[in-house]
């Protein structure tokens, strides 16, 4: 076979391929169809359960069986995504109306995962059977081949309600997302009926019935006045609050507390645990110091209790929780759906219009199918009734015929050739017969028991009922208003049987106002380990664990909680860190990387000294570089509100070796070759920070200053150089430009 090579521009091919992939993800995975409000995987799971016969009155079946059937017949993707869909369809805290009746561990509102699918069982809810899957046998929707063309599946389910509103939807596609909140079933039904009566109704009129979203977790929508714009455009932000009540301690010694009974929809799952941790952190960092304890006492219903100090301002604390935690959150609305095979953002009115049109379509197809079947039934009933009246002739024809074909020909066309009649009269009567093929088949299959008098009366009664149904179907199909009436009657039945009271309150509430009281400055201990992690500690805790803290950390000193800490780097920069940005830790806690809370970059810089900034104003600092230059600088030159400043001017390929407060009379320099020099501090001149400095020691070629210390004339001082203890105090006091001498290692 000859090769067929197609030459094409690579960029054009990539562009078209990516567009095809994107549209496949958008239309076949992530975005719901506006008609049934379901994504393909949800539709396939429900249809597979229906095909398995997992009705509400039948026993539950293993979830693994449902997932296997769905994957093998309709959805050739990972079993985990199919099972996750099944789980979500059963969770009444995520869906406005749960569609699956789960048996076993199907997860919890607090984010606990479902058990493995081999352990759990499921079946359809009665609501799903009657509202989502009814009449599939009546040609109400198109069926299309599955992925390997061995099965047929519905292109859309004949859902009787605007499910895209009732259950909402969330999904991330390629370049677009959908986020539709759930709504109250009864309100959506009322709004849909009103639009059927008044097709020109505005969105504002519809919102007299559909007040706004109705989340299964309850809570409060606080921006009622903004909802109209959201529902007109299909985009916006809904502001949510949890519902909390303040309970005053009635008995002596009993504390006041805030009890949260409903949470924002966005808090379900792991965010409940995050909320608890956030409240604890606010209490520990003294941003809400009047909180003494928080406990999650939720069982079937949400109950989170926050205990307060005696005399605390509970309302102020509640406002603080709204401001600083997920107890107040926003739900981003983007009502993106698949409409006529294309992704579109629709408003409330457009979604209801599409659903009304869909209901008209499926009901028209339903009653057309029923009309056809009842017409066929009426034809057979009329034939049987006519046959009963001449049953003796029918029996004579059947007995006188040589085969079934001869009997059928006589009944349908009056052919008497070959038929053995008892009398000429019977033959003349037989020639007049003209039953249809369907009637003839029914007559030939007629059982003798049907000739009993009561059976004949029943046949005539069924004929009357069939004729009445046909007249009703013809009336519905011929009158749009009559069809609308039938749809509204069906909607009223659904509302009566399955409607639930509204759970989410719709209000206008002012934004939370919380002025954080400035924390009182208190002494804290700063500690930094050799990996550049910093933390703050309570002085009392440090005192109890002093030895362990000093051994584990490179720098430890006490400062005030509102102070700043200066990080001097080898590259000559000074970075400032606010103590309030450091977590209050226990001795064994790691803390946070100083990179995260300052401009310091550990990949490009090396910290050579850490000093409290509050002491610099009254101090003089000693700067020594690796290439042997030194100077003294007034600390006031380094006081700045900027997070980073240049602390010292450096020569080419030079770096800072040490920065020391001038707290003692002598300075001692140590080199990387094991030599040192000691002399009075005053021999280093007082210069500006922009000066390069003077020669601090006479270094041999290749020598560099490694470290420096300050000490008093008669002070005994031992330091560690390259893991070896060295006696600094053994160095003789000499001149600044003297040559370094050999160190005494112990």
Catalytic positions, written as ranges:
119
Q: What's the CA gap between 535 and 593, in Å, rounded? A: 9
Question: How far, in Å, are 73, 564, 692, 704, 706 from residue 637 at the CA level?
Answer: 77, 16, 15, 27, 25
Q: What's the CA gap between 415 and 402, in Å, rounded? A: 13
Q: Which residues does residue 122 pair with via DSSP β-bridges, in sequence order?
A: 61, 102
**Helix-helix angle 270-284:314-324, to 10 degrees:** 120
3-state secondary structure of 723: coil
Handedness of CA 48, 53, 59, 61 (dihedral sign): negative
Nearest CA to 386 out of 341, 338, 353, 432 is that of: 432
- Burial class of residue 342 (count of CB atoms within 10 Å of its CB; 0-12, 13-18, 19+): exposed
Q: What's the CA gap between 513 and 533, in Å, rounded? A: 35
Backbone angles phi, psi at 571, to 5 degrees: -85, 5
Look-up of token digits 């509302």: 495
Q: What is the number of helices (H) and of strands (E) in the chain?
A: 20, 35
Assigned token pair, 737 = 């430009």
Q: What's the CA gap between 51 and 153, in Å, rounded? A: 10
Q: What's the CA gap between 188 and 348, in Å, rounded? A: 10
- Is residue 314 within 8 Å of residue 307, measured between CB atoms? no
Angle, CA 507 vertex, CA 503 and CA 512 arms, to 5°: 110
- Is residue 94 within 8 Å of residue 79, measured between CB atoms? no
β-pairing, 555-560 with 523-528? antiparallel
For 437, how many CA atoms within 13 A lie in the half-sphere containing its CB? 1
Residues 6+ apart with CB under 8 A from 330: 237, 238, 239, 240, 266
Q: What's the CA gap between 56 and 70, in Å, rounded? A: 19
Q: What's the CA gap between 215 and 239, in Å, rounded? A: 12
């Amino acid at each position: 076979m000859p090769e067929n090579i197609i030459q094409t521009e690579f960029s054009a091919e990539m562009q078209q391929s990516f567009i095809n992939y994107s549209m496949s993800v958008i239309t076949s995975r992530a975005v719901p169809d506006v008609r049934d409000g379901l994504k393909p995987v949800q539709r396939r799971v429900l249809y597979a359960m229906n095909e398995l016969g997992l009705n509400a009155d039948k026993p539950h079946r293993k979830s693994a069986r449902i997932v296997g059937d769905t994957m093998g017949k309709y959805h050739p993707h990972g079993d985990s995504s199919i099972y996750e869909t099944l789980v979500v369809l059963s969770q009444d805290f995520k869906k406005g109306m749960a569609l699956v009746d789960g048996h076993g561990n199907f997860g919890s509102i607090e984010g606990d995962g479902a058990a493995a699918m081999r352990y759990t069982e499921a079946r359809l809810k009665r609501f799903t059977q009657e509202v989502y899957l009814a009449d599939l046998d009546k040609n109400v929707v198109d069926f299309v081949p599955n992925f390997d063309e061995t099965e047929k599946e519905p292109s859309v389910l004949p859902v009787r309600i605007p499910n895209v509103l009732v259950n909402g939807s969330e999904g991330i596609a390629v370049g677009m997302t959908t986020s539709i909140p759930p709504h109250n079933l009864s309100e959506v039904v009322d709004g849909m009926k009103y639009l059927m009566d008044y097709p020109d109704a505005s969105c504002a009129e519809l919102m007299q019935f559909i007040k706004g979203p109705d989340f299964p977790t309850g809570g409060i929508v606080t921006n009622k006045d903004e909802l109209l714009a959201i529902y007109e455009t299909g985009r916006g932000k809904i502001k949510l609050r949890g519902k909390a009540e303040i309970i005053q301690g009635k008995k002596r010694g009993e504390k006041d507390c805030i009890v949260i009974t409903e949470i924002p929809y966005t808090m379900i799952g792991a965010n409940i645990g995050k909320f608890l941790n956030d409240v604890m952190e606010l209490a520990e960092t003294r941003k809400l110091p009047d909180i003494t304890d928080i406990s999650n006492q939720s069982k079937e219903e949400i109950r989170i209790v926050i205990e307060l100090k005696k005399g605390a301002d509970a309302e102020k604390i509640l406002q603080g929780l709204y401001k600083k935690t997920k107890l107040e959150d926003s739900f981003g609305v983007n009502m993106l759906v698949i409409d006529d095979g294309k992704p579109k953002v629709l408003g409330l009115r457009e979604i209801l219009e599409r659903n009304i049109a869909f209901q008209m379509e499926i009901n028209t197809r339903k009653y057309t199918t029923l009309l056809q079947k009842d017409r066929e039934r009426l034809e057979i009933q009329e034939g049987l009734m006519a046959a009963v009246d001449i049953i003796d002739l029918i029996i004579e024809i059947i007995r006188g015929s040589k085969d079934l074909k001869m009997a059928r020909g006589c009944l349908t066309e009056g052919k008497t050739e070959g038929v053995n009649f008892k009398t000429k009269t019977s033959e003349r009567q037989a020639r007049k017969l003209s039953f249809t093929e369907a009637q003839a088949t029914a007559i030939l299959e007629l059982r003798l028991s049907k000739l009993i008098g009561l059976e004949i009366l029943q046949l005539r009664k069924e004929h009357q009922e069939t004729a009445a149904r046909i007249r009703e179907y013809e009336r519905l199909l011929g009158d749009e208003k009559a069809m609308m009436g039938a749809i509204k009657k069906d909607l009223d039945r659904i509302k009566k049987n399955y409607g639930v009271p509204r759970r989410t309150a719709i209000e206008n509430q002012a934004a939370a106002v919380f002025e954080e009281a400035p924390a009182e400055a208190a002494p804290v201990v700063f500690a930094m380990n050799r990996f550049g992690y910093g933390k703050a500690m309570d002085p009392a805790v440090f005192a109890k664990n002093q030895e362990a803290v000093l051994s584990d950390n490179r720098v430890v000193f006490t400062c005030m909680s509102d102070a700043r800490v200066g990080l001097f780097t080898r590259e000559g920069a000074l970075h400032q860190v606010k103590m309030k940005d450091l977590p209050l830790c226990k001795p064994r806690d790691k803390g946070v990387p100083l990179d995260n809370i300052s401009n310091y970059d550990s990949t490009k810089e090396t910290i050579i000294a850490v000093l409290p900034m509050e002491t610099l104003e009254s101090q003089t600092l000693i700067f020594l570089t690796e290439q042997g230059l030194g100077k003294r600088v007034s600390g006031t030159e380094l006081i700045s509100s900027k997070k980073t400043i240049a602390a010292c001017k450096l020569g080419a390929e030079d770096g800072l070796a040490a920065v020391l407060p001038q707290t003692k009379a002598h300075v001692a320099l140590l080199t990387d070759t094991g030599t040192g020099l000691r002399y009075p501090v005053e021999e280093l001149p007082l210069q500006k920070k922009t000066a390069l400095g003077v020669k601090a020691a006479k270094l041999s070629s290749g020598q560099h200053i490694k470290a420096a210390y300050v000490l008093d004339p008669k002070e005994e001082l031992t330091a560690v150089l390259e893991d070896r203890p060295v006696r600094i105090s053994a160095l003789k006091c000499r001149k600044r430009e003297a040559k370094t001498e050999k160190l005494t290692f112990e």
